[in-house]
Amino acid sequence: MLTLKYITENTPEVITRLAKKNFRADEIIAQVVELDKQRKQTQTAADNALSQSNALSKEIGMLFKQGKTEEANAVKEKTVELKEAIRELTEKQTSLELQLNDLLVQIPNLPHDSVPAGKHAEDNVIERSGGVMPQLPEGALPHWELAKKYDLIDFELGVKISGAGFPVYKGNGARLQRALINFFLDQAREAGYLEVQPPYVVNAASGYGTGQLPDKEGQMYHATVDDLYLIPTAEVPVTNIYRDVILNENELPIKNTAYSACFRREAGSYGKDVRGLNRLHQFDKVEIVQIQHPEKSYESLTEMVSYVQTLVEKLELPWRILRLCGGDMSFTSALTFDFEVWSAAQERWLEVSSVSNFESYQANRLKCRFKGNDKKTQLCHTLNGSALALPRIVAALLENNQTPEGIKIPAALVPYTGFDVIS
């Protein structure tokens, strides 16, 4: 969430910038400013009352020690009223703080100046693109047909075991998954990321830390008996490593990478958008996360985008990078670049990565701070990106590389798969 300080000190600017995210902020911001004013007044009053009470208590202690019991009891009388006042004031203060927090979590992150205006995905700006569009042979098949033809993925079997959206990968299909995961992790390590293996279920505090809770509660699977949530992305456990942490400035940037299975309930979509591998309840992804100094976070964002570009290039997929417009960006992001690869048989672009700078928005909830060389403590900036999500990469690989002889595996991946063609 945004910091109270920033909102109260830059109120008009906050409202203007949020308009780019198509968020009408004037009312809620006015409420925040008003509540904050009340909060400050209440705290001052409460602190004064507590201060008096502390002084009286000390006095009573001294009097008892000196054996002046009667005088002590007289002072005790005075505390009765004060106690009541303290109770009321602190209750009011707590209530105001809760109200403020409720409002703050409803305010999205401020978009970066470079974010284009717009409402929908069509308003996103193509940043750059590359790769060669494949010429498919006669009778080219979409990936779900290819998966069946070569016995790589069994969607029906997944339905039997779990339900729709839980495919079973078999044989070379399973080996391709494993190859991609290892390839992505090795690449990330070479790019300076520390590999971590996080838990796949998290507690509610972690869900709040990265912003899945409370707003996106319905998107996560919830194991209610133990009150744990299945992670929708490794971003959640990995970023939460740094919850309630004060780092040293010279530890920055922190660069972590993690593979995890990801679980998403994703209710409400149907049709060709969700055919085959396009949208799943369980999928594999390698994630990259950075914790960075505020002055350098946009350098890191550029670096992460370039890094993801090298991955799609090594996989020889036609790709493009979109700068998301205000209306298509996530609630928590300040600037997001999406990667899409061309799915030749479906003849559509598939989103395979989303790389974002959250600035201090996420760090504020996480309480992820660093102590600078000037001894001041301030919030870090957090960034993350998929590098990459597997299913749509697999879809594009299968479709784009189909030939009469079988499906060709890109050269960079062959050392990982152990085969160069699926036939």
Q: Supply the minimum distance, in Å, between the C-beta of residue 174 and RNA.
A: 20
What is the SS3 assignment for 381? Answer: strand
By beta-carbon proximity to RNA, the closer residue of 37 and 119 is: 37
Query: Rounded CA gap, 391 and 345, in Å?
Result: 15
Q: Rule CB under 7 A: which residues touch RNA?
A: 4-5, 40, 43-44, 46-48, 50-51, 53-58, 60-61, 64-65, 76, 79, 83, 246, 369, 371, 377
Residue (43 or 330) nearer to RNA, CB: 43
The distance in angstroms from the start CA to the end CA of the chain is 51
Q: Can you spell out the DSSP letters for 73-125? A: HHHHHHHHHHHHHHHHHHHHHHHHHHHHHHHHTTSPPPPPTTPPP-SSGGG-E
* Distances 34 to 28, 29, 107, 192 between C-alpha atoms, Å: 10, 9, 16, 46
Nearer to RNA by Cβ, of 96 and 352: the residue is: 96
| Closest C-alpha to 337, from 320, 359, 319, 322 | 322
* Cis-peptide, bond into residue 253, ω within 30° of zero: yes
Considering the complex, state which of residue 82 and residue 274 has its C-beta at the smaller distance from RNA: 82
Among residues 417, 421, 414, the alpha carbon closest in space to that of 179 is found at 417
Place of tokens 């079997």: 157
Nearer residue to RNA within complex by CB, 58 or 348: 58
Residues 6+ positions from 301 with CB-CB distance below 8 Å: 335, 337, 355, 356, 357, 383
**Structure-token match 């906050």, residue found:** 14
CB of 56 to RNA, least distance (A): 6
The nearer residue to RNA, 44 or 423, going by C-beta atoms, is 44
